[in-house]
Amino acid sequence: MKAIVSVVGAFMHERNSRKNLATLAKLLALLLLIVLAYCGLFHVLMLGEGRSYSWIDAIYWTITTMTTLGYGDITFEQPAGRLFSVFVMLSGVMFLLVILPFTFIEFFYAPWMQAQAAARTPRELPTGTSRHVILTNYDPISYALIPLLNKYKHTYVVLCPTVADANELHEIGIRCAIGAFDDPKTYRKLRIREAAMLVATRTDVINTNITFTAREIAEHVPIVATASNDAARDVLELAGATEVLRLEKMMGQALARRVIGKDCAAHVIGEIEGLQIAEANAAGTELEGLTLAESRIRSRTGTSVIGFWDHGQLRTADPHTPITRQTVLVLAGTEDQMRNYNAAFASQAVDEDAHVVIIGGGRVGRITSTNLREAGLSTTIIEKQAERVAKHPEAVIGDATHIDVLKKAGARKAGTIIITTHDDDLNISLTIFFRRLRESMQIIARCTRERNAHTLHRAGADLVLSSASMGANTIFNRIRESDNLLLAEGVFVFPSPVPVAMAGRALADSALRSETGCTVIAIEKDGQRTVNPAPDTIIPDGGKLLLIGTLEAEEKYLKLYRSR
């Protein structure tokens, strides 16, 4: 009954539905008048044949004739009556079998089905809804963010401008609501004053309208918006955005940072409770060819090596782990310790002979090239559209799969190929091509959708960065504040009280890594912190652990130790 009431409410809410219902009522009234007129003529013609019938018989004959059932128990015997029967039959076929069904479907059934669909997607969130995240687009960023919100029990809703959009999301299990982006009533109905965050990821113009409209209603709610350029960023900040994400800029900087031979500095990728997590290339430093124990990184700088990136996966490191030219170290330490690391290794010379070929001259490709050139590396962009790279004289115009274009771009001497196009399918194809062309080069690829990262790794990419994952991680970290830190490659750093089952035991005896996949990167007790503790470190009762691991590893840890 409640569902029927909601559907009726949604049906009557639409002005067109009310008009259609009135039109259908008029048509039914016309049908009633026609039936009554036919009944009157039936009486007149039957009296002409010397027979008399009741009104019930007249209605019965009219309906059976109009619907072409024609039982034959009441019939005319004279030509005038039979001609009238043919006329009633033909008009009934036209009215009952053609006009009325079409009108019923067009004016009642279709609007009713639309109202039923609209009733499934609300226009207003229930009273008491709070700390929810309002998303304004179901794009690759939201696709990557929603599983994280579900995992950590953050309520969300996707705002859709039309019922059709909402129905599509409803069918795949996405919570959504209907409303206009530029209507203040929409945000009031979505309880924006009680929301944890509003995320605007549509075009620059729409994002500005969303931000300005929402900010007028809720002065203190965080609003995160995406922008395609610096001018759009400035306008969004003026409109009231708390934070503006330049994903192309973030992606270009991240791609440039990962180029082997660019620099040896420790680049901070996250911070939690005063502990910084950074990554650093070992290429071109004295670390190449040494084991982790021989490098003495910890004794020289105070930073601890908690692992290294291997095809997008965080691998744990032990004293015997070799450091090669391809090694990207993941470091943990304080701000001062990171400065010590940079003083020891970042001042070493950049590989000036390193040449980088960038496939794609869009915003990401141009930003990547600029960052690499500022770091002292030579780059060449390969782009099909000359107008995109008009300000980059080093660019080569042509198809990156043509040998003459690659020769002109200096691909033979390139140590790194960076694939930056927005088309994941094209990036996969190019990755396969370049990996077959030369096994030894470093291939860094960009992907738009997170699900294609594994495919790119299988195709031969050494490193894959997802702009959707990058945006989702940044937004999620803002929502969670200091509770967790989600790194770029989907790795979590999270705090946990020392479980009772682990207290008083040596770290090596806990079998934490083998059972969960998590690694302890710091232990705290009474304000004292031990970063990257040794295996024989005793886990203190009443202390706190800082752990690092994938989302799956964190789930295993919480499931295993939450009740122990």
pLDDT tens sequence across 486-505: 776 667 888 889 988 888 99
The pLDDT of residue 10 is 47
The angle formed by the CA atoms of residues 531, 537 and 540, to the nearest 5 degrees, is: 90
Residue bearing tokens 């048509």: 27
Joined tokens for residue 8:
């009726």
466 pLDDT more than 80: yes
Burial 368-405 (b: 16+ CB within 10 A, else e): bbbbbeebebbbbbbbeeeebbeebeebbebebeeeeb
CA distance 312 to 31: 71
47 pLDDT more than 80: yes
- Phi, psi for residue 407 in degrees, rounded to 5: -65, -45
Joined tokens for residue 301:
């700088």
CA distance 308 to 314: 6
Joined tokens for residue 551:
């989302």
Enumerate residues 6+ apart whose C-beta is below 8 A from 18: 12
Residue type, 416: T
Angle between helices 55-66 and 79-94 (to 10 degrees): 60
CA distance 302 to 101: 81
328 pLDDT more than 70: yes
CA distance 147 to 151: 6
> % helix / strand / coil in the chain, to the nearest 5?
45, 20, 35
The pLDDT of residue 18 is 65
Q: What is the pLDDT of residues 236-280, one digit of tens each?
A: 999 999 999 999 999 998 898 888 666 788 888 888 877 888 888
Question: Which of 51-55, 100-104, 167-171, 326-330 comes out lowest in average pLDDT?
Answer: 100-104
521 pLDDT more than 90: no
Element (H, E) at 441: none
Residue type, 157: V
Enter the DSSP assignment of 114: H
Burial 349-360 (b: 16+ CB within 10 A, else e): ebbeebbbbbbb
Q: Is the dihedral of CA 417, 421, 422, 425 positive or negative?
A: negative
Residue type, 373: R
- Closest C-alpha among 333, 323, 339 to residue 281: 323
Joined tokens for residue 247:
């994903």
Enter the DSSP assignment of 391: T
CA distance 533 to 521: 7
CA distance 35 to 224: 64
Q: What is the pLDDT of residues 347-405, one digit of tens each?
A: 655 555 579 999 999 999 999 999 999 888 899 999 999 999 999 998 999 999 999 99
Using H for helix, E for strand and C for coil, what is the string for 34-56? Answer: HHHHHHHHHHHHHHHCCCCCCHH
316 pLDDT band (50/70/90 cuts)? confident
The pLDDT of residue 193 is 94
The angle formed by the CA atoms of residues 484, 490 and 494, to the nearest 5 degrees, is: 20
E-assigned strand segments in 16-146: 133-135
How many CB atoms sit inside 10 A of residue 217's CB?
15
Element (H, E) at 224: strand 223-226
The pLDDT of residue 168 is 87
What domains can you pick out in the chain, each with its CATH number?
A: 2-119 (1.10.287.70), 133-245 (3.40.50.720), 263-346 (3.30.70.1450), 355-469 (3.40.50.720), 490-561 (3.30.70.1450)
Residue type, 14: E
Phi-psi region of 528 (alpha: psi -120 to 50; beta: other; left: phi over 0): beta
Residue 211 and residue 223 in contact, taking contact as beta carbons nearer than 8 Å: yes
Residue bearing tokens 């594994």: 454
Enter the DSSP assignment of 350: P
Q: When comparing pLDDT for 66 and 383, which is higher? A: 383
Distance of CA 268 to the CA centre of its chain: 25
**Percentage of the chain surpassing pLDDT 70?**
89
The pLDDT of residue 490 is 67
Measured CA distances, 472 to 17, 135, 402, 466, 535 (Å): 40, 12, 36, 10, 34
8 pLDDT band (50/70/90 cuts)? very low
Joined tokens for residue 46:
């039957």
How many CB atoms sit inside 10 A of residue 430's CB?
23
Q: When comparing pLDDT for 297 and 313, which is higher? A: 297
Q: Could you tell me how many residues make up the chain?
A: 564
Determine the average pLDDT of the residues in 322-327.
85
Joined tokens for residue 350:
């950049």
Joined tokens for residue 388:
């995109």
Residue bearing tokens 């192309």: 248
- Coil, strand, or helix at residue 418? strand
CA distance 210 to 203: 10
What is the average pLDDT value for the chain, to the nearest integer?
85
Q: Pairing between strand 442-447 and 416-419? A: parallel
220 pLDDT band (50/70/90 cuts)? very high
- Closest C-alpha among 465, 468, 482, 486 to residue 554: 486
52 pLDDT band (50/70/90 cuts)? confident
Beta bridge partners of 333: 276
- Coil, strand, or helix at residue 125? coil
CA distance 262 to 135: 37
The pLDDT of residue 130 is 92
Torsion of CA 466, 444, 435, 281, to 10 degrees: -130
CA distance 350 to 337: 22
3 pLDDT more than 60: no
Residue 81 and residue 49 in contact, taking contact as beta carbons nearer than 8 Å: yes
Rg (CA), the chain: 35
Joined tokens for residue 61:
């004959």
Q: What is the pLDDT of residues 194-210, one digit of tens each?
A: 999 999 999 999 999 99
The pLDDT of residue 2 is 42
182 pLDDT more than 80: yes
